[in-house]
Structure 1
Amino acid sequence: MLFAGAAQADAVDTLREFVRDVKSARAQFTQTVSSPDGAKKKTSSGSFAFQRPDRFRFSYDKPYQQLIVGDGAKVWLFDADLNQVSVRPAEKAVSGTPAALLAGAGLERDFTLKAQPAADGIEWVLATPKAAEGTVKQLRVGFKGRELAALEITDSFGQRSLLQFSAVQQGVALPADTFRFEPPKGAELMQQ
């Protein structure tokens, strides 16, 4: 039993090392969103990239095209089907979110960390946002060895989103324009 406790403590250390050492990464993801009763709702897929500090990009390709870009100052959300762009100041949009956990600089300041039991070869860490005003209730980050494998988000309504990462490349050079966003011509712009 002592060994299990040490292994769980290592998962928190792995997250701390990931935040400290991995300055950039990119991956593919599949996201499954489930309702509070556990019923499967929808599946989407796309790509993800981040660069510390505070730059990230989630590009959803299927079933709908959507883009979320954090450029360090603002967070842009583009819905291609609606041709609509929402923009918010980063400090209001990112606190207590997966982007803050993966790309932010305040892991211990923003989250309470606790090791969780391993499952299916993944070591899990529970990260609870310290700020209560956000929509994210808790996050679970999963690692296979030292590589980011999964992220589970539970919102304040009990809805769960599981992102499973593949083709993960950590410590890669990313083009600067990865984290820039220009609203398409004719898109409706909503400032928040």
Structure 2
Amino acid sequence: MAAWADAADALRVFVKEVKAGQSSFTQTVYAPNGTKPKVSSGRFEFQRPNRFRFSYVKPYVQLIVGDGVKVWFHDPDLNQVTVRRLAEALGSTPAALLASGASLDDDFELKALPDQGGLQWVQATPRQQGGTVLWLKVGFRPGARVPATFEMGDSFGQRSVLSLPDLREESSLPAATFRFTPPAGADISEQ
């Protein structure tokens, strides 16, 4: 188990050295008005640079695949696929921190925060202003090379928490994990 100076150092090591990983996830979105939070869960995989897969299973099945060039959003219930260019879809999101090959310190201002809830925290504020993401907080278990939790505040006043309880580092994942082929008859929209 390694010891980092602080969580900002741990995040830099994660982005630089961890090339692939996978975990179950729970995502909780808190509305600004305090209404009941929306909770979803599923499976997450990533491989640098810029490949990721969020397979939502609850409360609705949905798939988001970043293939290194585009991000594919598939809603099987509606048989709809939305396609966006990777740079436009990621911006300063947790997925960008998890899967990007970009320079962390070029894109974010990092600030170590006090330990809380058994985690070491760092705040990552996007250097480019005007996006929907205002701030990200990343929590690491002490000495871990992979994050346990992401929190994000957006310009709509929402706060989202992405928990990755069993994120494990991998040397690589099968290339097919990050390919998406729209199903026959799907309504496809490119943005």
Cα displacement string for residues 79-136 of structure 1 (whole angstroms, at most 9, x for unaligned residues): 1221111001112111211111111122111111111111111111111112223211
Aligned partner of 2:51 in structure 1 is 55
Q: Which has the higher helix share?
A: 1
- Is 1:46 matched up with 2:42? yes
Distance 1:176 1:45 in 2: 23
| CA deviations over 1:40-74 (Å, ceiling 9, x no partner) | 32111001111011111111110001111111100
Alignment match of 1:19 (pick from 12, 15, 23): 15
Q: How many Å apart are 1:37 and its aligned residue?
A: 3.8
Q: Does 1:149 align with 2:148?
A: yes
1:21: how far off?
Answer: 1.0
**Structure 1 or 2: larger strand share?**
1
Q: Which runs of 4+ in 1 moved over 4 A?
A: none
Matched with 2:130 is 133
RMSD: 1.6
Q: Does 1:74 align with 2:70?
A: yes
> Whose RCO is larger (CA < 8 A, sep 6+)?
2
Aligned mates of 1:73, 1:8 — CA distance in 2:
33
Question: C-alpha distance in 1, partners of 2:7/2:35?
Answer: 29
Moved more, 93-102 or 31-40: 31-40
How far apart are the structure 1 equivalents of 2:171 and 2:32?
A: 37
The farther-off stretch of 162-171 and 42-51 is: 162-171
The percentage of aligned residue pairs carrying the same residue is 56
Post-superposition offset of 1:9: 5.2
Q: SS of 2:25's equivalent?
A: strand
CA distance in 1, matches of 2:182, 2:109: 36
TM-score calculated relative to the size of structure 2: 0.92
Matched, 1:101 2:100: no
